[in-house]
Amino acid sequence: MDTWSIVVTIVSAVFILNVALAAAVVFFERRSPSSTWAWLFVLFFIPVIGFLIYLIFGRNTGKKKAFGPKIGIDEQIYIDFVKNTEGLVDEVENQLFSNDGIKLSKTYRHLLDFATLNLNSGSWMTYHNTIEHFTDGNKKFESLINDIRGAEKFIHMEYYIFRGDSLGRRIVDELTKKAKEGVQVRLMYDFMGNTALPKNFFKDLKAAGGKVCAFIPSFFIRLNYRNHRKIVVIDGKIGYVGGFNVGNEYLGLVKRFGYWRDTHARFEGQVVDQLQLRFMMDWNFCCDDKFEINSFYYPVKDVKNYLPAQIVSSGPDTRWHNVRNSYFKMINEAEKKIYIETPYFSPDDSIQEALKIAALSGIDVRIIIPAHPDHFFVYWASMSYLGELLEAGVKCYQYETGFIHSKTVFVDGIVGSIGTANMDIRSFGLNFETNAFIFDEDKVSELEKDFLNDLKECTEITYEKYSKRGKMFKIRESVARLISPML
């Protein structure tokens, strides 16, 4: 066979393969139209490289097979919890008609609908909680370490990133001490987010009796479907959730990022059970050391403070995009103001349109993103979406003092969200995420003050300034925007 024939054969094979992949994208995988067109663009215009990108990031056909069992495990754990928790069945069934529900509806007239939305995802409204929030990593981890030291029964910890640096060693040392005292310690980390961890990093903790588990270990080669959650539960009484991972950069000690601005919440009260349920669901799916519903892990709470809250999770292990749907609900129900902080802004079409409509309706919509991003591709995509919003009257800002990693949404000074989910397509459907939704005017107003203080550290992206961006920036922005919906 001559050289020309070999070339023709190779080109033909690549073309046939691309056609087959294109058919799979269009006919066999349920994608949004924008996602479909993005993948078709990659497959046909970057044939070989596009094929490799698709193999790593693009395939959705294995999702049901991989996580179908987890959905069943999660549902059974939830059913067992309801059956074994005295009074919860009546509370779940009747909460929308309770005096608490009536009180809440006067504060936020659409809260009953919101409660129903998340009840469908297995998250009921809890009424008696306390919350402390942190915007600085040093304060958050000092609080966490103090709570670890005070643990008497168990410590459950789940992080997307757990660095092997000085903060990571300090946390592991504290966990090891508690394990030696007889406290049950379980630590779960995302495999892909921690490939650089030394293999023997948890050796002492394991030797002391602690259990350590990687979420979706190395045999699962997909880069999608990462466990982006950050959850800690201590003694079933204290729960943490938010944006801080474990590592020195979250203390502002890494020069590349500078000061790290994030938001994390510490709860006591009824809502801690929902964090515990989520940890149990994730652990029992990935780890050999299964554990069961009982009063040891779900003690009776003595918190009487009135602060309604829900923990809402979503990802490949949920039937609905629960966090995304909750964001959408909040935006649609806004009457006065919407404040959003997110390091990555790449929303789907419905969220984008909802924000435009809100701004065009006279609602004060403000969005803060980093001025110094950690991923420039995401930054260019974010700017393309913000450009559209600027035309509609949305006020957009870049945080200049270090890196802002906070994932928060606040509406009308009444309802707020603190969690792990960014305002982007990946968090909406690919990653495992968990957010706390808070329905308390005093606390949400306090959180909004943090947002307004952050504005002092920001540069506004005006429409005039945005219109003057250079040609190369426009090209990068267009390419990033085109590829951003690839799911």
**Which amino acid is present at 83?**
K
Q: Which of 75, 267, 241 is nearest to 157 (CA)?
A: 241
Indicate which residue of 228, 321, 329, 443 is catalytic: 228
- Is 103 one of the annotated active-site residues of the chain? no
What is the CB neighbour count within 10 angstroms for residue 55? 12
- Whether 235 is catalytic is yes
Angle at 14 between CA 13 and CA 20, to 5 degrees: 90
Integer Cα distance of 242 and 1 in angstroms = 62
Q: Which of these is catalytic: 74, 136, 348, 412?
A: 412
Alpha helices in 24-62 (DSSP H): 33-45, 47-53
Give the containing element (helix H, strand E) for 452: helix 441-455
**C-alpha torsion sign, points 82, 84, 85, 87:** positive
Question: Residue 102: CB partners within 8 Å, gap ≥ 6?
Answer: none
Quick check: is 156 catalytic?
Answer: no
Distance, in Å, from the CA atom of 164 to the CA atom of 2, rounded to the nearest integer, reads 55
Report how far residue 305's alpha carbon sits from residue 270's, in angstroms, rounded to the nearest whole number. 10
Structure token pair of residue 109? 């007239």
How far apart CA 474 and CA 465 sit, in angstroms, is 13
Which residue is catalytic, options 407, 424, 440, 443? 407
Take residue 372 and report the two structure tokens written for it: 């110094």
Query: Considering 74, 147, 235, 262, which one is annotated as catalytic?
Result: 235
Alpha-carbon gap, residue 259 to 225, rounded angstroms = 29
Torsion of CA 331, 333, 339, 342, to 10 degrees: -30
Catalytic residue among 156, 230, 237, 329: 230
Pairing of β 211-215 and β 184-190: parallel
Please give the Cα distance from 169 to 201 (Å, whole number).
8
**Alpha-helical runs (H) found in 85-225:** 88-94, 99-107, 111-119, 137-149, 166-180, 203-207
Tokens at 172, concatenated: 């592991």
Contact partners, residue 53, CB within 8 Å, separation at least 6: 42, 46
CA neighbor of 423 nearest in space, from 368, 347, 355, 359: 347
3-class secondary-structure state, position 81:
helix
Active-site option among 211, 405, 424, 440: 405
301 DSSP 8-state letter: P
In the annotation, is 289 catalytic?
no
Which residues are part of the catalytic machinery? 228, 230, 235, 405, 407, 412
